[in-house]
């Protein structure tokens, strides 16, 4: 009995351990990309545009099909009807079926069928644009978490150094080798670094929660983020990026499809000025038929043509609106093409600037580390004032933070370029980053 209970407890413990491990397993950027494409609320909402396009296609295809309706009637009246055989009837029954087929709609139905494929293409482009933007934002949020982690490391190092200096100054003061003022300065530096460390940890937690929310993960289920603020140097040039944008920017393609869609909408509005041809057929059953006490079938066929003469300027108003919208779509497409060219130029300029800034920050960090080393040696030998040592400590922390920022900014400029090209989904699949 005890053996069986022990085995059950061990099994439960193993299962709980595995579950906890699976839940709290570290997350890299590639898993974050998969989760974003799957769970991001904006993308999930955009995917419903496909259903809307499918619904429109059903409507457009149905416009070319006949409509069928059926009706039945039971009538009972107060006064009786005397029929030919002398009997009285006060009740009648009937059933009727009607089929209506539009033979010519003035071009409206054909335009709607063309629009159905264009609406589907627009829906697909909207989703692709959403994914492009979502991954751009994901990179920003993901690497911001890593940036905040670097801030914590820098502040932890600063706090550790300040604590050691404060302890050393206190001991020296007891031996008469340092002044009370030096102890106070060391304590102030330690307090400042401790406060900065607490703030850095708070910012890290906020950045992590923001990232999890973007991926659709509950705050209490957030995962540890792993990675480094590094990315391979981007290849290509402005002309190649512009060529990529022309080929892959889904928002550009969306405007091109929107222009075609609005062109067909113009034809739909023009159909209001065209004649319509409709064929109608009906068949039914009556009891009694007329005033004869018999049951009989009936049917009719009818060919209708309607020619609009004056509709109180409704069609003319719709045409003016449709033409104006078409012109707006043309302007929007022209502006988007210009925007893309400007965005490409700006992205490459930012990459050049960020790359230079990264190199300068790296050199500044090296100098700050050497400066602190020399200040520590000089202070121990009594040739460097304490204030210079504290200044060197602060400068090193600042250099570490600046270098982490430069790494982040350099990475983000490359991400911005890929978003501008419309290739970030493809680029992220090639694993050009860590």
Domain ranges of the chain: 42-67+110-275+330-429
CA dihedral in degrees (341, 342, 343, 348; nearest 10)?
90
Count of Cβ atoms closer than 10 Å to residue 345 Cβ: 14
Residue 5 scores a pLDDT above 70? no
Residue 10 scores a pLDDT above 60? no
Residue 61 scores a pLDDT above 60? yes
Q: How far apart are CA 423 and CA 417, in angstroms?
A: 9
Residue 1 scores a pLDDT above 50? no
What is the arithmetic mean of pLDDT over 236-244? 95
pLDDT band at residue 293 under the 50/70/90 scheme: low
- Domain covering 42-67+110-275+330-429 in this structure, CATH number: 1.20.1600.10
Q: Please, what is the Cα angle at 382 between 168 and 368, to 5 degrees? A: 75
pLDDT in the model for residue 76: 76
pLDDT single digits (tens) 159-189:
999 999 999 999 999 998 889 999 999 999 9
What is the arithmetic mean of pLDDT over 208-214? 97
pLDDT in the model for residue 79: 65
pLDDT in the model for residue 394: 96
For residue 99, list its beta bridge partners.
Answer: 68, 281
pLDDT in the model for residue 11: 45
Residue 198 scores a pLDDT above 60? yes
What is the arithmetic mean of pLDDT over 10-15? 45
Task: Give pTM, 2 decimals.
Answer: 0.85
pLDDT in the model for residue 16: 45
List the end-to-end C-alpha distance of the chain, in Å, as a whole number.
Answer: 53
What is the arithmetic mean of pLDDT over 34-38? 96
127 — alpha (psi -120 to 50), left (phi > 0) or beta?
alpha
pLDDT single digits (tens) 108-129:
999 999 999 999 999 999 999 9
Q: How far apart are CA 348 and CA 354, in angstroms?
A: 10
pLDDT band at residue 233 under the 50/70/90 scheme: confident
Average pLDDT along the chain:
89
pLDDT band at residue 332 under the 50/70/90 scheme: very high
In Å, how far from its chain's centre is CA 293?
71
Residue 22 scores a pLDDT above 80? no
Q: Which of 9-23, 232-246, 331-345 has the lowest mean pLDDT?
A: 9-23
pLDDT band at residue 433 under the 50/70/90 scheme: low
434 neighbors 228 (Cβ within 8 angstroms): yes
128 neighbors 46 (Cβ within 8 angstroms): no
Residue 434 scores a pLDDT above 90? no
pLDDT in the model for residue 139: 96
Count Cβ atoms within 10 A of the Cβ of residue 347 and give its class: 0-12 exposed, 13-18 middle, 19 or more buried.
buried
Q: How far apart are CA 160 and CA 194, in angstroms?
A: 9
pLDDT in the model for residue 14: 45
Tokens describing residue 381: 């030998």
pLDDT band at residue 21 under the 50/70/90 scheme: very low
pLDDT in the model for residue 89: 63
């Amino acid at each position: 009995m005890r053996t069986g209970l022990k085995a059950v407890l061990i099994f439960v413990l193993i299962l709980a351990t595995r579950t906890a491990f699976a839940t709290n397993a570290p997350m890299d950027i590639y898993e974050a990309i998969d989760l974003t494409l799957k769970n991001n609320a904006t993308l999930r909402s955009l995917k419903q545009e496909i259903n809307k396009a499918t619904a429109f296609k059903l409507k457009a295809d149905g416009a070319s099909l006949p409509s069928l309706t059926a009706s039945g009637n039971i009538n009972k009246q107060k006064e009786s009807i005397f029929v030919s055989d002398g009997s009285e009837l006060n009740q009648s029954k009937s059933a009727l079926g009607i089929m209506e087929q539009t033979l010519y709609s003035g071009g409206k139905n054909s335009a709607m069928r063309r629009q159905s494929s264009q609406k589907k293409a627009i829906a697909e482009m909207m989703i692709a644009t959403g994914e492009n933007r979502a991954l751009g934002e994901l990179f920003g949020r993901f690497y911001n978490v890593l940036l905040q982690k670097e801030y914590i490391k820098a502040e932890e190092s600063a706090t550790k150094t300040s604590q050691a200096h404060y302890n050393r100054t206190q001991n020296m003061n007891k031996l008469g080798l340092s002044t009370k003022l030096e102890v106070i300065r060391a304590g102030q530096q330690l307090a400042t670094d401790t406060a900065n460390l607490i703030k850095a940890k708070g910012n890290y937690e906020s950045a992590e929660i923001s990232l999890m929310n973007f991926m659709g993960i509950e705050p209490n289920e957030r995962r540890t983020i792993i990675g480094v603020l590094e990315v391979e140097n981007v290849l290509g040039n402005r002309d190649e990026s512009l060529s990529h944008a022309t080929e892959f920017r889904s928002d550009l393609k969306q405007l091109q499809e929107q222009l075609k869609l609005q062109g067909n909408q113009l034809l739909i509005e023009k159909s209001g000025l065209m004649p319509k041809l409709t064929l109608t057929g009906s068949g039914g059953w009556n009891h009694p038929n007329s005033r004869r006490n018999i049951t009989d079938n009936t049917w009719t066929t009818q060919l209708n043509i309607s020619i609009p003469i004056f509709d109180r300027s409704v069609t003319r108003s719709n045409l003016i609106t449709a033409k104006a919208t078409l012109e707006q779509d043309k302007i929007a497409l022209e502006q988007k093409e210009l925007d893309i060219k400007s965005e490409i130029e700006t992205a490459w300029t930012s990459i050049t600037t960020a790359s230079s800034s990264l190199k300068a920050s790296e050199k500044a960090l090296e100098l700050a580390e050497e400066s602190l080393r020399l200040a520590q040696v000089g202070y121990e030998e009594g040739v460097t004032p304490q204030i210079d040592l504290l200044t060197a400590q602060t400068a090193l922390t600042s250099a570490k933070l600046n270098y982490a920022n430069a790494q982040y900014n350099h990475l983000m400029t490359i991400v911005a370029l890929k978003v501008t090209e419309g290739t970030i989904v493809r680029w992220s699949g090639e694993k050009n980053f860590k």
